[in-house]
Amino acid sequence: MKALTLLTGSFLALALNAIAVAQTVRPVISELGNPAKGRVEYVNDGLTPLNVVLEARSFTVSEKGELSYRPLDPDIHLKLSATSFRIQPKQTYYVFYEASAAPAPRWFVIYASFSGFAFRTEQGMNVRLQLPHTVYLLPKQRAEKADVHVVRAELDDAGSKVLLEVENTGNDFGRVLQTQLANGRKKQDAPGFPIFPHSRRILEVPLDVKADRDSFPTELSLLFDNFKIEEKLKTKSSSDLQLASASPSSTGSAGEKR
């Protein structure tokens, strides 16, 4: 019976993975002006017709990049061409929207709930898949180099990770397009991330555990749209890094990272 349960769980995991691959929302992120007009594509690459329901929510991002959601803020005005629809197999459905907010910058997410899959969970529950389209309503002015400060850029003594803390002291939204760690010609790329007005962002970047000490990164660069920040990495003990991560300035809430 235990083996059967494990097999059932494995089958469900594979099925859910196949669902995630077969359904697509694009683009995942749109950075637009204010007011804005946008379009989202909802793709059903599966073999079963699916029902889709859209719901817009506002969100807050913690210092560690974790999201907490709430109902759409009343000062964000959103008009969708459809809030529910059905997508036939191997078809794409387009949703158009108009959005505005005062003041900018503002941001929200449109969640698409896919349902109608041909199987259920072991408990007999229907499977639903939620995929986001995140919208940023932004003025032309973006964060400037003078507003962005690297508060911490530290390599732990074991060389297993780099702890970054970046602060935006300005009124404008910014986005790091690429994070790069380097030691001479040896480079390691890490994902970019948004940095919100008057906020900090804390990241732990894991390093290649097979790297020898001579090849540990010594420099950090953050690439923005209109400028680049470069910083030397400091070395701290693992205990120092853990104390820094546990400090009151680095707490956050739960969710998916953006």
Write the CATH number for 190: 2.60.40
Q: Are residues 219 and 168 in the same domain?
A: yes
Boundary (domain end) residue, out of 102, 137, 172: 137
Look at residue 122 in the predicted model and tell me its pLDDT.
Answer: 57
Strands 91-101 and 76-80: what pairing? antiparallel
Inform me whether the pLDDT recorded for 188 exceeds 50. yes
Looking at 75, 102, 137, which one is the last position of a domain? 137
| pLDDT number for residue 127 | 77
Where a domain ends, among 137, 169, 197?
Answer: 137
Residues 240 and 150 in one domain: yes
Query: pLDDT tens digit string along 223-240?
Result: 999 999 999 999 875 444
Element (DSSP H or E) covering residue 96? strand 91-101
Classified as helix, coil or strand, 9 is: helix
Higher local confidence (pLDDT), 112 or 10 = 112
Residue 87 CA to residue 115 CA, distance in Å, equals 10
* Amino acid 7: pLDDT: 33
Cα–Cα dist 126/116, whole Å: 8
d(CA 99, CA 20): 28
Q: Are residues 121 and 35 in the same domain?
A: yes
Residues 24-49 pLDDT 10s = 999 999 999 999 999 999 999 999 99
240 assigned to some structural domain: yes
Give the CA radius of gyration of the chain: 22
Within a domain: 82: yes
Environment class of 101 (CB within 10 Å of its CB; exposed 0-12, middle 13-18, buried 19+): buried
Is residue 257, in this structure, part of any structural domain at all?
no
With pLDDT > 70 as the criterion, what percentage of the chain qualifies? 77
Indicate whether 106 and 188 sit together in one domain. no
pTM for this prediction: 0.78
Phi first, then psi: give them for residue 74, nearest 5 degrees: -65, -20
Q: Report the CATH number at residue 30.
A: 2.60.40.10
Q: In the chain, what is the straight-line distance between the N-terminal and C-terminal CA atoms, in Å?
A: 41
Q: Do 186 and 154 sit in the same domain of this protein?
A: yes
Based on the fold, state whether residues 220 and 162 are members of the same structural domain: yes
Amino acid at 255: G
Q: Residue 3 domain-assigned?
A: no
- Range of the structural domain that residue 49 is part of: 22-137
**126 lies in the same domain as 231:** no
Pair 215, 241 in one domain: yes
Number of domains in the chain: 2
Based on the fold, state whether residues 185 and 128 are members of the same structural domain: no
User: Are 123 and 157 part of one and the same domain?
Assistant: no
226, part of any domain = yes
In a domain, 45, yes or no: yes
**Per-chain mean pLDDT for the chain:** 83
Annotate 127-189 with three-state secondary structure: CCEEEEEEEEECCCCCCCHHHEEEEEEEEECCCCEEEEEEEECCCCCEEECEEEEEECCEEEE
In a shared domain, residues 71 and 169: no
Q: What is the DSSP letter of 241?
A: H
Lowest mean pLDDT among 71-75, 152-156, 158-162, 226-230: 158-162
Does residue 248 surpass a pLDDT of 60?
Answer: no
Is 13 within the bounds of a domain?
no
